[in-house]
Structure 1
Amino acid sequence: MDGNSFDFTAIRGIQAGSAYYVIMVPLKTVPRLFTFDDESMPPDLRAQRILNKARIPAIAGYIVDNPSDYILSSLCASIDGEIVFEPVETEGPLRRVGKLRIDMGATILINDGQHRRAAIEEAIRERPALGDETISVVVFADHGLKRSQQMFADLNMHAVRPTKSIKLLYNHRDALAGLSRDLVAAIPLLRDFTSFDRTSLSNREVKFFTLSSVHQATAELIGKKKAGKIDKKDLAFAIEFWTAVIQEMPDWQRIGTRDVTAFEMRRDYIHAHGVAVQAIASAGAQLIAARPDNWKEWLARLREIDWSRRNRALWDNRALVAGKLNKSKNNIILITNVIMRAFELPLSAEGQRVEDLYSPGALPLKVAS
């Protein structure tokens, strides 16, 4: 190599009989060191997916907004060009540590992490001080387009997104997620029967709620989204509301006393599913706004609703489609409408619009069978 090279401290490893290297790259160097395939090229001539530019601002914002505790996973790249590894020692444990020299004329192509690379570039424009920080890069020698495409497929083959519940459990930046965790911890039924790592519950699952459904419902109740500010009054209000709801839901109480299993309840009742929990919160928020002084008295009307899945006249196409529970936004609204009629409250404009689409004409006030 003639001296026109990029030099990095590196660790050498072996996978599938071939050498690879882990290097540390300053963030300010990432945009000019790593390239993309031309998006105008057909997919069979690229080694990556097309960049989804809509994802970039969120990742960049995460880096910029959390300068003291952001974390970025390694990039993975292939080098098409001359590379030389010079170990610190030829024998012993340090033989795998040394200097990796990459020819400046080499093409370094990202196999995994193109959105992180683009977000880093945007973040540095907003906060230049980040440029001297580093990201780890796993580097492989380029063995042609076919191998690069296979690397992309292999790297993404077994990727599994974490469930929404587990993300809420571990997210300590989101104040609303924190409120949801505190809410679950404060109410015995929620504490004992909420799944923290699942978004949907299987037949064998002994838990009755999911953290994600409690979170979505509580966000609906207090009218706040992820970016909203949360205070102690919000938590106290959420605890008061859900405690009152549980008092008016005898079937839920039977879960707490273990007189019935969570599976049996999910099998037989609409209220045992997240869509109904969210609908109760939505209707509850409207009830409290309309009757702030005696909303708890009206909440007792939850007992008058026939929540049984056997009540097909009420729930078919409203909550059930071909006998299976549907979880669309419109189904949540349609269930909310049932509860609003039980509360003897007019439907919201959106509730009426969806109701008219579902079944033109008024929903009967009497909703129990």
Structure 2
Amino acid sequence: MAIRIPVVKGKTLATDYWLGSLTFSAISKYVKLPENPDWNDVFGGEGEQEAQRKLNRQRVNSEIVPYLLESDDAFFSSLALILVPGTGRPLKEGTDFKFLPTEGFDDKIGILEIDESVDMFPADGQHRSAAIIEALRQKRERMAQQEVPVVILPYATKEKMRQHFSDLNLNAKPVSQSIGYSFESRDPVVIVTKRIMKDVPLFNGRVNEQSNSLAKKSPDVITMGTLVQAHQVLLEALYGPKYKDQDDLKALRQVDPADSRVSSVSDRLREIWEVVISNIPEWELILKNKIHPRELRDGDETTGEPGYVFAFGIGWQAIATAAAALVKHHPDDWSEDLARCLTAVDWKKGPQWHGIAMVGDRVNNTGPGIKATAGYLLKEGGIPASEGADVKSLHDALSRSLQSINP
């Protein structure tokens, strides 16, 4: 039985395509994800070039599926699907598909009939497709008739199909994480972050909402992406691993950041940032406009004074990571321990940071570096590894980092 889709027919240069929509149920039935071994022959055979990178199942299940299931206004951009006959030969009109134009629209609008023996390859949108399939499995009654826009392309040759895949993926330029967060109005963590950006004086007007890193002369002290990531770590410590499912957080979906309800969560984060900022005296100079943020990062060339590690993304995230470990294991008296860690460290760029937060004279923002830096804070502050599993994990990260440069 053929699948029938209302479509608009189009053409860009030499590429024909159809624009339409498919139900989630149809996506589940007709779309084969790139990891499916049936695609091996199309993309060169098993052991040769794979159809695409492996699916990030964690991202699908923990981020995209909840987005679909929990958001009444969820929306996906169009999937790009290539129609591929099961035989692997070029798509043939009249056998594999028929386009039935609607009278009066110059053969542009009509019904696309696709034989059910034809498979659909998601040249762009494999994670969205996987999320649709999983969301349908979890809540079929609600999701079956939901629709997603699609761009449908005909299969001509293996080389052409691979070129479509390359074009769609190489030319895609997602916006920066910070810009994405600045437009986000649903995620409670982002909503709380926007409140913190107003309530914490150091952050007010000094958070970059455009890029994932700070330009050399940027007047900002942190990017929004870094601040959100820090809050994710801290909220997990405050509310547990499933913090997004906590009533305090769930109640903030699509709430204005200025709403009084946001303060029930933001006040707990603000308390942590107040301890951090008050125990790094240089931030007070920023608040009094006595120094430019770039000087804290890069130092003063005229005097040869180096910059400070705390002023970089790795510094912010490491501090949040160390604070989270202390909050988790000392929920009632973490502030004194955190203050001691912050003041015990020599934050100036120098050899003490080599292999931890710096490689040579360059600050190196990596996941292992963040954990090693957090471990360094705890160690310098006299917090032993015996203080809890998270503290021990950060001590271990520091040891591994140091061993890598001094085997």
The interval holding the TM-score normalised by the smaller chain is: 0.7 to 0.9
Question: Structure 1 66/330 Cα, relative in aligned 2: closer, same or farther at 3 Å?
Answer: closer
Contact kept in structure 2, 1:64 and 1:127, CA below 8 Å: no
Deviations 1:175-219 (A, max 9, x none): 233222211121122021111232222213221111232233334
Name the counterpart of 1:246: 277
Query: Which of residues 98, 101, 104 in structure 2 aligns to 1:87?
Result: 101
**Deviation by residue 1:101-121 (Cα, 9 ceiling, x = unmatched):** 334555544433344334333
What CA distance in whole angstroms lies between the structure 1 residues aligned with 2:331 and 2:132?
A: 50
Partner of 1:235: 266
Give the 3 Å change call, closer, same or farther, for CA 116–344 of structure 1 in structure 2.
closer
AA aligned opposite 2:374: T
Partner SS, residue 9 of structure 2? strand
The alignment partner of 1:24 has SS state of strand
- Could you say which structure has the larger radius of gyration? 1
Equivalent residue, structure 2, for 1:124: 136
Hey, what does 1:175 align to over in structure 2? 188
Is the Cα contact below 8 Å between 2:208 and 2:223 reproduced in 1? yes
Q: Distance in 1 between matches of 2:245 and 2:291?
A: 38
State whether residues 221 and 284 of structure 1, in contact with CA within 8 Å, keep that contact through their aligned partners in structure 2: yes
Specify the code of the residue in structure 1 equivalent to 2:110. Answer: G
The structure 2 residue matched to 1:73, chosen from 73, 77, 80, is 77
* Matched position secondary structure for 2:16: strand
What's 1:52 paired with?
55
113 and 338 in structure 1: CA distance in 2 versus 1, 3 angstrom threshold:
closer
Identity %: 22
Structure 1 residues 85 and 345, CA gap change in structure 2 (3 angstroms): closer
Tell me the TM-score normalized by structure 1: 0.79
Aligned to 2:297: 266
Amino acid at match of 2:44: D
Whether 2:321 is the aligned partner of 1:308: answer no
> In structure 2, how many angstroms separate the alpha carbons of the residues matched to 1:199 and 1:245?
22
1:150 to partner: Cα distance? 0.9
Whole-angstrom CA distance in 2 between matches of 1:212 and 1:193: 13
Deviation at 1:28, TM superposition (A): 1.6
Tell me the residue number matched to 1:299.
339
Q: Which of 173, 176, 195 is 2:208 aligned to?
A: 195
- CA distance in structure 2 between the aligned counterparts of 1:126 and 1:11, rounded to whole angstroms: 32
Displacement of 1:53: 6.8
After TM superposition, the structure 1 = structure 2 runs for residues 1-369 of structure 1, keeping only pairs within 5 Å, are: 5-35=2-32, 38-41=38-41, 43-44=43-44, 48-49=51-52, 52=55, 54=57, 56-58=60-62, 61-62=65-66, 65-66=69-70, 68-79=72-83, 80-82=91-93, 83-90=97-104, 96-104=108-116, 106-129=118-141, 130-222=143-235, 223=237, 224=239, 227=244, 229=246, 230=248, 232-267=263-298, 268-285=307-324, 292=332, 295=335, 299=339, 302-303=342-343, 305-309=345-349, 311-312=350-351, 314-340=352-378, 343-347=381-385, 348-357=391-400
What residue number does 2:259 align with? Answer: none
* Cα 1:117/1:259, change in 2 over 3 Å: same
Aligned mates of 1:280, 1:59 — CA distance in 2: 25
C-alpha separation in 2, matches of 1:125 and 1:237: 38
Distance of 1:317 and 1:156 partners within structure 2: 35
Number of residues of Structure 1 aligned to a counterpart in Structure 2:
353
Q: Secondary structure at the match of 1:11?
A: strand
C-alpha distance in 2 between matches for 1:281 and 1:322: 24
User: In structure 2, the residue corresponding to 1:277 is in which secondary structure?
Assistant: helix
- Aligned-pair distance for 1:357? 4.4
- Give the direction of change, closer, same or farther, for the CA distance of 1:18–1:89 in structure 2 (3 Å limit): farther
Q: Measured at CA, do residues 23 and 285 of structure 1 come closer, stay the same or move farther in structure 2, by a change above 3 Å?
A: closer
* C-alpha deviation, 1:154, in angstroms: 0.6
The Cα offsets for residues 223-253 of structure 1, whole Å up to 9 and x where unpaired, read as: 1555353464442122123124323323223
The SS at the match of 1:23 is strand
The 1-side partners of 2:333 and 2:56 are apart by 49
Find the residue that maps to 2:144 and give its secondary structure: helix
**What is the rounded CA distance, in whole Å, between the counterparts of 1:15 and 1:306 in structure 2?**
59
Unpaired segments of 5 or more residues in structure 2? Answer: 84-90, 250-262, 299-306, 386-390
- In 1, the alpha carbon distance for the partners of 2:122 and 2:278 equals 56
Alignment TM-score, normalising by the size of structure 2:
0.73
Amino acid at match of 2:207: T
Between the aligned partners of 1:220 and 1:60, the Cα distance in structure 2 is 20
Given that residues 47 and 152 in structure 1 are in contact (C-alpha distance below 8 angstroms), is that contact kept between their aligned partners in structure 2? no
Q: Which moved more, 1:286-295 or 1:249-258?
A: 286-295
Closer, same or farther: CA 358–136 of 1 in aligned 2, 3 Å: closer
Deviates more, 1:100-109 or 1:187-196: 100-109
Give the Å deviation of 1:271.
Answer: 1.4
What value does the CA root-mean-square deviation take over the aligned residues? Answer: 3.5
CA distance in structure 2 between the aligned counterparts of 1:325 and 1:9, rounded to whole angstroms: 55
Alpha-carbon distance in structure 1 between the residues aligned to 2:116 and 2:366: 53
Q: Which SS does the other structure have where 1:192 is aligned?
A: coil
In structure 1, distance between residues paired with 2:379 and 2:295: 27
Deviations 1:254-294 (A, max 9, x none): 23344333222111111111222233334445666659569
Report if aligned partners of 2:279, 2:339 keep a CA contact under 8 Å in 1: yes
